[in-house]
Amino acid sequence: MRAMEITLNSPLDMHLHLRDGDMLKLTAPLSADFAGAVIMPNLVPPVTTPEMMQGYAERIEAALDGAAFTPYMTLFFTALGEKELLAARETPGFFGFKLYPAGITTNSEGGVSDMAQADTTLHLMEELGIPLLVHGESHGFVMDREQEFLAVYRHLATRYPKLKLSMEHITTAAALKLLDEFPNICATVTLQHLIITLDDVAGGALRPHLFCKPIAKRPEDRDALLQAALSGHPRLFFGSDSAPHPRCRKEACGCAAGVFTGPVALPKLAEIFATHGALENLQAFVSDNACKWYGLAPVQKQITLRNTPMSVPAAYRSYGQEVVPMYAGESIGWSVVR
């Protein structure tokens, strides 16, 4: 096999869960090959105030133990006035608001149940230049939830044309079409949704460590997402949605939703892009597109990846936690050059 490698400049993960407490101490270093990440706020309780956000950022920094990694912090969306929005915008490390439909995913019970109640806040966010990141699913049949939510995205993009609106972790070909329909919409896509379909999760023996929300969809959806990423679509960004849960919560009744991809994300992306002859577009997908869209200037950091196989541990264990990653116990074709 011909030796290949690529050096990425300041790769970013535009959608990351690090959890808190001992789980944070375990997972933060495992995502620190990135130069930074947009950190999700759906803790228990959710991160709703600048003070809570600052405290969480400090705990992340402590868990990183000096790694060159910038946490771009988000607040859990609630209806706020101008004074509160200005206070959030002026808080160091603040990136934007994450909107969850109430009860749609992990720790989202306090989310939005009536979009009309968010109107005043969204108009203010538009005026203040504050991005809105949205978990876009309805409460309908599980395979149709993203499709049904597209009408909400169209409403938001039309009603708030200056609002930077991100469709988070999209899973369908239909969602991709909105990127060409509305210039104020961008999107993130995960590693798992570039690779798997629902058949991989539940077509044979149930594979709980591949279960996530939104669930993986059809092959034609997976293929459309992959082609958009490989082609370097300027408003499609990598967001891992790496979402660790203890093994006991994944291999259990009521399996928790989330795929833990942090440790394998960059090597597997390099393998995918190289396999499809698109390695030259990986830099845009994992950094440049998002930097241009949001005006980010991440910490300078170079990560070199080479087509040397990486053996993925069966689990990561530390601080009394045990988390199973994607490709646990397997080998993937690329690895980070240490």
Helices (H), the chain: 21-27, 50-64, 82-89, 119-128, 145-159, 173-181, 198-202, 219-230, 247-250, 265-275, 282-283, 289-294
Q: Find the farthest-apart pair of alpha carbons in the chain and give their distance in angstroms, rounded.
A: 59
CB 266 within 8 A of CB 242: no
Tell me whether residue 223 is one of the annotated catalytic residues. no
Give the Å distances, CA to CA, from 29 to 11, 18, 25, 95: 15, 10, 7, 21
- Which token pair is 92? 């160091």
Helices (H), 160-279: 173-181, 198-202, 219-230, 247-250, 265-275
- At residue 301, the pLDDT reads 97
pLDDT by position in tens, the chain (length 338): 788 999 999 999 999 999 999 999 999 999 999 999 999 999 999 999 999 999 999 999 999 989 999 999 999 999 999 999 999 999 999 999 999 988 777 777 887 878 888 999 999 999 999 999 999 999 999 999 999 999 999 999 999 999 999 999 999 999 999 999 999 999 999 999 999 999 999 999 999 999 999 999 999 999 999 999 999 999 999 999 999 999 999 999 999 999 999 999 999 999 999 999 999 999 999 999 999 999 999 999 999 999 999 999 999 999 999 999 999 999 999 999 99
User: Rounded CA gap, 288 and 16, in Å?
Assistant: 18
User: Rounded CA gap, 308 and 305, in Å?
Assistant: 8
Q: Is the dihedral of CA 333, 214, 284, 219 positive or negative?
A: positive
CB 60 within 8 A of CB 18: yes
User: Rounded CA gap, 224 and 238, in Å?
Assistant: 15
CB 233 within 8 A of CB 179: yes
Domains annotated for the chain, with CATH where assigned, are: 5-336 (3.20.20.140)
| Block residue for tokens 């030259």 | 280
Identify residue 78 by its one-letter amino acid code. Answer: T
pTM exceeds 0.95:
yes
- At residue 108, the pLDDT reads 77
Of the candidates 33, 221, 241, 288, the residue annotated as catalytic is: 241
Cis peptide before 101 (omega within 30 of 0): no
Return the bridge partners of 185, or none: 165
Return the bridge partners of 98, or none: 76, 133
